[in-house]
Amino acid sequence: MDDVMYWISKEGSGHYFFIAFPFCLLILLIFLKRRRFSFVIPSLLMSIVIINPLFYRFWQKLGLYAYWRILWIVPVIAVVAGVIPAITEYIDSIWLKTALAALGVGLTVVGGTYLYKGTGGRFQLPAKNIAKLPQAVVESADRLLEMEESPRILAEPAMSVYYREYCGEIRTLFGRDIYGYISQPRETAIRLNNYADMGDWENVNKIMLEEGYDYVVTTNKWDVDTTCFEKVLDETAFDLYSPVGISGIVREWNELDKTTKESYFDINGEPLLQTAGYAAIEQEWENNDLISRTYLDPDGHPINRVDGYSKVIWEEIEGVKTVRFYDIDGGEIPSEGLNLIKDMVICEDGWSEWFAPGYKRKNSTIYFNTISLDDRVAGDSYTCQFDIEFRGVTGVVGEEFLFQTQGSVDGKWNGGNIWTPDLICLKSPPGDGIQRCLSTIRISEKAVHASEFSIGFRFDHWASGEFRIKGVKIEKGQKPTEWTPGI
């Protein structure tokens, strides 16, 4: 009952219509001439069904935990509005009708709160453009579209949300803070957000160049470092910056925005060999699916990586996803001992960048890698290992702190929380230090048909601090082997 009353009091705050509702229903039951059984009784029935502690949990679940929206079904507006006309039906005098109508309007005004005042005053803003979006967004979007057909931008968070409402041509490095809703693990965006706030423009520059983003748009809320960025436009409503410097990675894309070639360069523009011994990769796609990856030397020729293979081919044979590794001569390499992690961003010393989850992160997860674990059958084992280092971690005062690995199957953790919780589970702030994590999982019948598996970390009541990881390796079998670079 408490939950029901809580939501009624929430939705009923600022006005008396919910309190008036049962009395109005009673008045209608007495006075309404014609539709008593068509309107009053079903309204009463609906109220009993919805405002009922016995059904609360059911409605809460059915309404995707928004019981307050289910409350809209209770016909409060129609019932309250029906009271005065139901009484005036008995009166012939137009003056008496007018007096009663005025009384009804007066009671409504006194018993309620003017709605436009109650929404934080935001609605009264006079519109500055026909799209009803922030003027800086409209102006900068128009300028960007004059300059490029499909600009890729990084905009300050307050603006970034609105660009893609204005036009679909613009791509933003991050949009609304919908992490977890859209479920794509864009830790880059989160990092960028943090770094931009901290003023780490060198890193922002690097990521933008790597991912092919051309402009930073700001209304001067960001103090953009001009050694990393040059000012392109200086307008009244906004400024436009462009990253400068040599890209660490040069990418080519297909029409679906999928990377077809990726070459690595050092600060002098010379080819940069990766840990696995290659300087570029070439990729083939079938729609959204990666079907092959070839590793190249600085001259653009196929090369064997340090772990012995030159080409990876992903196929689907009779509904089963498979992955095969081949050397430069076309010979197949056994997959045991190979690191199945894909696209893991690591620094030169082997560590990832520091993750700073932010204050009061509650029951939320950052996924840092997604793999397909191809060729699996029920009962297959996979081993996962990595090191994790914490720096200055604290929990929210008065709340129970929790940090643990979080696995997901097809984007749903409840579909198979595979790497957790035994891999790492900290129930109090661990302070500083490095921990070694090792875990073996077995593929269940349910997980056989999954298309992807993610690994990440979950935070409950995280207050401050950061962490980073090193040497992540997921391999087939139960025996962990020495770290090798990912695919």
Partner 1 sequence: MMHVLLEIVLGTIVFALPLVVGKIFRSRPMGFTYLTGQLLLWSVFQIVAVPAVYCRISFSALFWIYTGLVTAMTVTGIVFIRRSPGQPTLKDREEQKEHRKQWLRDLSPFLVIALFIIAYQCCIYIFGMHLDEDDARWIAEANDALIKDKMLLYNPATGEYVGRFIGEVAKDVYSPWSMYLACLSRWTGIKPVIIAHTVYPPILLGMSYSAYYEIGAQLFIDEQTGRQRMSRRHERGIFLLMVAVINLFMGGNIYTQSVFTLTRIWQGKAVVAALMIPSILMATLRIQAEDTAWNWFLLMISGTACCLFSGMGIVIGGIMIAVYGAYAVIRSIARNWKTGLFRIPLLALSIAPSIVYGIGYMRLL
What residues between 119 and 138 interact with partner 1 by CB under 8 A? 119, 122-128, 130-134
Q: For residue 151, is the peptide bond before it cis, meaning its omega torsion is within 30 degrees of 0?
A: no
Query: Would you say 122 or 377 has its CB closer to partner 1?
Result: 122
Q: Which of residues 100-119 bind partner 1 (CB under 8 A)?
A: 100-101, 104-105, 108-109, 111-119
395 strand-pairing partners: 462
Report in angstroms how near the CB of residue 486 gets to partner 1 at its nearest: 22
Q: Which range in 159-167, 222-230, 323-331, 332-340 contacts partner 1 by CB under 8 A?
A: 159-167
Q: Which of residues 292-351 bind partner 1 (CB under 8 A)?
A: none
The whole-angstrom separation of Cα 79 and Cα 116 is 23
Q: Which of 97, 324, 361, 470 binds partner 1 (CB under 8 A)?
A: 97
For residues 76 to 95, the per-residue mask of contacts with partner 1, x marking binding by CB under 8 A and - elsewhere, is xxx-xxxxxxx-xx----x-
Other beta carbons less than 10 A from residue 252's beta carbon: 13
CB 321 within 8 A of CB 337: no
Q: Which of 4, 161, 402, 441 binds partner 1 (CB under 8 A)?
A: 161
Q: Is 224 in the site for partner 1 (CB under 8 A)?
A: no
Q: Which of residues 236-295 bind partner 1 (CB under 8 A)?
A: 256-258, 287-288
Q: Is 444 in the site for partner 1 (CB under 8 A)?
A: no
Q: Which of 309, 255, 312 is nearest to 283 (CA)?
A: 312
Q: Look up residue 221 and give its amino acid.
A: K
Q: Is 395 in the site for partner 1 (CB under 8 A)?
A: no
Query: Would you say 266 or 410 has its CB closer to partner 1?
Result: 410
Report in angstroms how near the CB of residue 472 gets to partner 1 at its nearest: 24
Q: Which of 215, 48, 207 is nearest to 145 (CA)?
A: 215
Query: Would you say 83 or 216 has its CB closer to partner 1?
Result: 83
- Torsion sign across C-alpha atoms 190, 193, 199, 202: positive
Other beta carbons less than 10 A from residue 244's beta carbon: 12
H or E element in which residue 249 lies: strand 249-253
Q: Is 196 in the site for partner 1 (CB under 8 A)?
A: no
Burial class (CB in 10 A: 0-12, 13-18, 19+), 428: exposed
H or E element in which residue 240 lies: strand 239-243
Q: Which range in 14-22, 322-330, 422-430, 463-471 contacts partner 1 by CB under 8 A?
A: 14-22
CB 84 within 8 A of CB 101: yes
Q: Which of 25, 136, 144, 189 binds partner 1 (CB under 8 A)?
A: 189
Report in angstroms how near the CB of residue 243 gets to partner 1 at its nearest: 18
The whole-angstrom separation of Cα 105 and Cα 85 is 12
Query: Would you say 97 or 470 has its CB closer to partner 1?
Result: 97
Q: Is 415 in the site for partner 1 (CB under 8 A)?
A: no
Report in angstroms how near the CB of residue 87 gets to partner 1 at its nearest: 9
Give the E-state strand segments of 254-401 in sequence order.
259-264, 280-286, 289-296, 311-317, 320-326, 332-333, 361-371, 381-395
Q: Look up residue 384 and give its amino acid.
A: C
Report in angstroms how near the CB of residue 240 gets to partner 1 at its nearest: 18
Q: Is 402 in the site for partner 1 (CB under 8 A)?
A: no
Report in angstroms how near the CB of residue 94 gets to partner 1 at its nearest: 7
Q: Is 63 in the site for partner 1 (CB under 8 A)?
A: yes
Report in angstroms how near the CB of residue 68 gets to partner 1 at its nearest: 5
Report in angstroms how near the CB of residue 154 gets to partner 1 at its nearest: 11
Q: Which range in 183-191, 338-346, 368-376, 428-436 contacts partner 1 by CB under 8 A?
A: 183-191
Report in angstroms how near the CB of residue 284 gets to partner 1 at its nearest: 16
Q: Which of 156, 101, 110, 105 is nearest to 134 (CA)?
A: 156
The whole-angstrom separation of Cα 237 and Cα 58 is 49
